[in-house]
Chains A and B, each alone.
Chain A
Amino acid sequence: MNANMSYLDGNAAGGELSRIFNLDLTAAEGQCANCGAKGRFADVHLYVDCPGLVARCESCDHVLLRLVNTGERVFLDLRGMTFLKLST
């Protein structure tokens, strides 16, 4: 358990991610590339007190996603997830 309670959760990233994907990702199921835990994106731990957004696995704290928006460009790092499954 992370003693630092400063995180939000994946719900709070729904608006920003929908700008990029044209999709609401909060109900998408993903898998952590580190520990293999599967869960909904809504439940990941989201840190916003940093340059951008960082999502971490709620089981092992591994970084799942990093998103930085400079105003001119968006940088997106998704290597912390092995997949993200969306219902269509």
Chain B
Amino acid sequence: MAGTEVLGRVTWRSGKVVALLDETSSARTIAIVVPDWPGHVAGQHIDVRLTAPDGYSAVRSYSIASAPSMDQRIEITVERLEDGEVSPYLTQEVAIGDELDLRGPIGRWFVWHIDQSEPIQLIAGGSGIVPLMAMIRSRLASKSNARFRLLYSVREPAATFYKDELQAISNRGESVILTYAFTRITPKDWPRPASRIDAALVSESIWPSHLSPTCYVCGPTSFVEHVTGLLIAAGTDRKRIRTERFGSTGEHI
């Protein structure tokens, strides 16, 4: 299967930006065509390298948001960090037609393969939704019957990525059960006050542990540690929890 080879050096390639889409006031999706792209698996990331005229370079990892496809096109969604070295450029300056240095796909553990049939529990904090969205899109594109649940913690409705697409997918029967946790501002008449994910929300919105779901948790480091602790307290086998941490940013999520 493409993108699953163990052997093979991950080399720097040049990709061309072909489309830009603002997801929120601070996050942008960048579609990139990468010649000879070997294909990827949902959950994998790429490293993007920016090089200044004086030779200084900075490398950052960004999860792939798009489902695997054969057309050498990938999408990443980048959240702008005000003190960042790379994200301000990617969210404000990069233009269609620009070339980006990138390497990938990277990651063989935090991935969902289309032949996985067990129930899947996705838990996202803020921009941690990106690799989980790739899994949801991959599930849909492959017509998988795996049962998915997504618990998505986000600051406020306006900070939600992929809002319309998620709504459309979750409305389509029971394919993906979607639960939001708004941490600072809720929509009007929302039943749950603004607060972070807690034990009560976990117990009512995730697959019960006897179904042995595989859990994917992605977000800022403090979010991942908090949620992992709640999952274990709720009886989830630690071996069934896979995590990806984005660092110390977004501590309010």
Q: Which of A1, A11, A14 is the one whose CB lies under 8 Å from B225? A: A1
CA of A8 to CA of B103, assembled, Å? 19
- Smallest Cβ distance from B189 to chain A, in angstroms? 34
| A-contact 0/1 string along B217-231, CB 8 Å cutoff | 000111001000000
CB-contact partner of A11 in B103, B244, B251, under 8 A = B244
Residue B245, interface by CB 8 Å: yes
Question: Is A8's CB under 8 angstroms from B7's CB?
Answer: no
> What's the least CB distance linking A7 to chain B, in Å?
6
| Interface 0/1 of A1-38, CB less than 8 Å to B | 10001111101101110110011101100000000000
| Bound form: Cα–Cα A7–B222 in Å | 10
| Interface contact B10-A6, CB-CB below 8 Å | no
- Least distance between A72 CB and chain B CB atoms (Å): 14
Q: Which size bracket describes the interface of A in this complex?
A: 20 to 34
The majority secondary structure among interface residues of chain B is mixed
Whether the Cβ atoms of A14 and B107 lie closer than 8 Å is yes
Contact A22 B8, beta carbon cutoff 8 Å: yes
Interface size on B, residues (CB 8 A): 29
Which chain A residues lie closer than 8 Å to B251 at the CB level?
A: 5
CA A88 to CA B4, docked complex, whole Å: 11
Q: How far is A50 from B46 in the complex, measured between Cα atoms in Å? A: 22
What per-residue 1/0 map shows which CB atoms of A69-88 lie under 8 Å from chain B? 00000000000000000111
What is the interface of chain A, defined by CB distance below 8 A to chain B?
1, 5-9, 11-12, 14-16, 18-19, 22-24, 26-27, 40-43, 86-88
Other 11 A-B pairs with CB < 8 A, given A14-B45, A24-B6, A43-B109: A5-B221, A5-B248, A6-B247, A9-B245, A11-B110, A18-B10, A24-B10, A24-B106, A26-B107, A42-B108, A88-B6
What are 18 A-to-B residue pairs whose CB atoms are below 8 Å?
A5-B225, A8-B221, A11-B110, A11-B244, A11-B245, A14-B108, A15-B46, A15-B104, A16-B47, A18-B9, A18-B10, A18-B106, A26-B108, A26-B110, A27-B109, A42-B107, A43-B242, A88-B6
- Show the binding face of B for A, using Cβ within 8 Å: 6-10, 45-47, 59, 61, 103-104, 106-110, 220-222, 225, 242-248, 251
